[in-house]
Structure 1
Amino acid sequence: MATTSTEATGLRSAFYQELKQLHMSPLWESLSVLVPHAPNGPCVPALWKWSDVLPFIKRAGELITAEEAVRRVLILENPALPGQSSVTQSLYAGLQLILPGEVAPAHRHVQSALRFIVHGSGAYTAVDGERTTMSPGDFIITPSWTWHDHGNPGIEGEAEPVVWLDGLDIPIVRFFDAGFEEKATAKSQAVSRPEGNALARYGHNLLPVDYEPTSRTSPIFSYPYERSREVLDRLYRDGELDDWHGVKLRYVNPATGGWPMPTMATFIQYLPRGFASKPFRTTDGAVYSVVEGSGRAIVDGIAFEFGPRDHFVVPSWQTFTLQADEDTVLFSFSDRPVQAALGILREEKIAV
């Protein structure tokens, strides 16, 4: 006697329930989700306006000290990933504040970190015995498992608070269950090299004669904005304007020519006044920090108006365009090195 569709459904349901007891499940029920026709992750585009977040950054400074918090940071959470401390499924982003007279105590961790200075000058980051003074637009690296601390030596009432964008590969490290952290015994590490030593050694198309890379992270840990801005201007004057990206450059490890960090790529780009990019999409979703100018990012038809110190995220494989109402500079970071290493990176320049 033939089995009816209702009976078949009941038999399957019973079969699935029995499988659960063995901690198993049928692939055919989830195959289209696990292996989709195209990327369809949960992340959504989002914008954090500086004018909206600044009051909360100030309140955080009133409520908790940098030493108490270890790192006084307000996390930029993707609206589709509440409670996960993630701006995309692979990246973490947050805005960190340090007030005059404060020190964020030294520690180290497996996670790689970047700092992009958003507001204020005069604070420092120290990495493995060398300090670098922070200025807006500077890109600073904290390599994996390196001692680092931050400080603002200015006097309250005379110096200004400093805020920077933190970018870390926390979700990637969490995925592999490979995270470790260690606190230093001293609040601040001893300075063993003069400021600017790493830039002098490795940042002028020259390397010490006996230098051999011992890390996949750049030996330069501070990339000053002044130098990056000068290059953008020069290339624009030379006519190197891409229809999709304007003038877009990637930061590099001078010892290898590769990415500055093994898990995160960083970029700086210039969009002249009136520039409107052609549509573009890529599997490496990116976080953007607006350094100068104003305009809009249109992500899958949704327009996000941005200005200086605003931040926004463009998720994986979502088509977007950038428009500049005035000369604009954008910093961004993504998980591109990981995708490139795995051979899964895909991007598309859409001709219109």
Structure 2
Amino acid sequence: MSNQAPLHAARADYYRRIDGLNLSPLWENLHTLVPTTPDSPCAPALWRFDEIRPYLMQGGELITAREAVRRVLVLENPALRGSSRVTKALYAGLQLILPGEVAPSHRHTQSALRFVVEGRGAYTAVDGERHTMEPGDFIITPSWTFHDHGNPGSEPVIWLDGLDIPIVDLCDARFAENHPLEVQPVTKAEGQSLARFGNNMAPVGYAPATPTSPIFAYPYRQSRAALHALARADAPDPAHGHKLQYINPVTGGSAMPTIGTFLQWLPADFNGARHRSTDATVFSVVEGRGEVVLDTPAGREVIEFGPRDHFVIPSWTPHALRAATDTVLFSFSDRPVQRLLGLLREETLA
């Protein structure tokens, strides 16, 4: 050991001197920067809706939607507290709007999704078109489009927000702007985007300006019917059951360029095969009850879920989905980005 002392001292002196030039030796951190397998800091987590809802409603007593701009409780990954992240790449939160309220119109470079968890009668407006919300509806707010929310109905409405905030932060491309009016003018009939693009057809001469789907609202009644049609025709996938991806009907790709969105049906007593993928995934339970069994560094972990619960599965974590009753799950991840960059890897395990 004593023969190494001069070398250790020389290296320490060398590191000290290059540090003054804002340099660091790669060989000291190579295995951390380029690990043999993903080593995500994210942890599996569950947010039970019945526990969260009272706090959402209390928030509605303490601050108005107008004051808050967006009255949201952020679903923070327990291993990433303080970062407003549910995974390293994505943000998630539960938003409440009460009868008579308006969440003012603004726009930002971050893309957003809304998935309605509870209540009817509220609306989201995107670039002049409104969609009246119902549970299970999937709604897109494309990057840099003005959007506002209002609730002319008689009951509270709660939805899941999913945004690509961390991805946009990574690119230092954050911009936002308030609309000059609190509620943007309605210039299109409700359902216009679905009528124009939702039947495997598009207007002659249509040229998409962005890779985001021109359909901004996917009603649950249609998505669920598609799931049942799939189930009648095909056997369930060993790991996923019956799973569909929301797509851009013009390109055939993901409905959102940075966030992949999915709806799946697990038949009663489904016992899924173990699966893992590099895209950490956030789930919202639409219907049914079940559990996900995860193999984590700390050992086997079981998350039991029920209607309107939310949970996250970290990147490259082996897991198996099980359903006690017929179960419908909505989920989202950064899969389109990983696929575009050639990073996506997944496998079903024995």
**Range class of TM-score, shorter chain:** over 0.9
Aligned to 1:64: 63
Aligned to 1:10: 9
Aligned to 2:320: 321
Aligned amino acid, residue 309 of structure 1: R
How far has the Cα of 1:7 moved from its partner?
2.1
Tell me the distance in 2 between the aligned counterparts of 1:299 and 1:86.
21
Alignment of 1:83-94 (within 5 A): 83-94=82-93
Name the SS for the 2:57 alignment partner.
helix
Alignment of 1:1-352 (within 5 A): 4-154=3-153, 159-300=154-295, 301-351=300-350
Name the SS for the 2:262 alignment partner.
strand
Tell me the distance in 2 between the aligned counterparts of 1:9 and 1:59.
59
TM-score (norm 1): 0.97
Aligned amino acid, residue 48 of structure 2: K
Aligned amino acid, residue 292 of structure 1: E
Deviates more, 1:207-216 or 1:275-284: 207-216
Identity among equivalent pairs (%)? 60
Aligned amino acid, residue 183 of structure 1: N
How far has the Cα of 1:49 moved from its partner?
0.4
Name the SS for the 2:42 alignment partner.
coil
Tell me the distance in 1 between the aligned counterparts of 2:75 and 2:246.
23
Name the SS for the 1:118 alignment partner.
strand
Aligned amino acid, residue 250 of structure 1: Q
Deviations 1:149-169 (A, max 9, x none): 000012xxxx11000000000
RMSD, aligned CA: 1.0
Tell me the distance in 1 between the aligned counterparts of 2:235 and 2:263.
14
Tell me the distance in 2 between the aligned counterparts of 1:211 and 1:185.
29
How far has the Cα of 1:55 moved from its partner?
1.1
Aligned amino acid, residue 220 of structure 1: I
Tell me the distance in 1 between the aligned counterparts of 2:79 and 2:10.
36
Tell me the distance in 2 between the aligned counterparts of 1:7 and 1:221.
66
How far has the Cα of 1:233 moved from its partner?
1.2
Tell me the distance in 2 between the aligned counterparts of 1:295 and 1:147.
38
Tell me the distance in 1 between the aligned counterparts of 2:206 and 2:234.
36
Name the SS for the 1:4 alignment partner.
helix
Aligned amino acid, residue 293 of structure 1: G
Name the SS for the 2:77 alignment partner.
coil
Deviates more, 1:10-19 or 1:115-124: 10-19
Tell me the distance in 1 between the aligned counterparts of 2:85 and 2:122.
26
Tell me the distance in 2 between the aligned counterparts of 1:298 and 1:106.
41
Tell me the distance in 2 between the aligned counterparts of 1:240 and 1:191.
44
Tell me the distance in 2 between the aligned counterparts of 1:222 and 1:22.
52
Tell me the distance in 1 between the aligned counterparts of 2:225 and 2:343.
34
Deviations 1:226-252 (A, max 9, x none): 001111112212233111110000000
Aligned amino acid, residue 64 of structure 2: T
Q: Could you list the runs of 4 or more consecutive aligned residues of structure 1 that deviate by over 4 angstroms after TM superposition?
A: none
Aligned residues: 346
Name the SS for the 1:199 alignment partner.
helix
TM-score (norm 2): 0.97
Tell me the distance in 2 between the aligned counterparts of 1:98 and 1:293.
25
Tell me the distance in 2 between the aligned counterparts of 1:17 and 1:161.
59
Tell me the distance in 1 between the aligned counterparts of 2:345 and 2:65.
40
Deviations 1:272-327 (A, max 9, x none): 00001000000011100000000001121210000000000001101111000000
Tell me the distance in 1 between the aligned counterparts of 2:337 and 2:173.
16
Aligned amino acid, residue 54 of structure 1: R
How far has the Cα of 1:348 moved from its partner?
0.7
Aligned amino acid, residue 265 of structure 1: G
Tell me the distance in 1 between the aligned counterparts of 2:234 and 2:177.
49
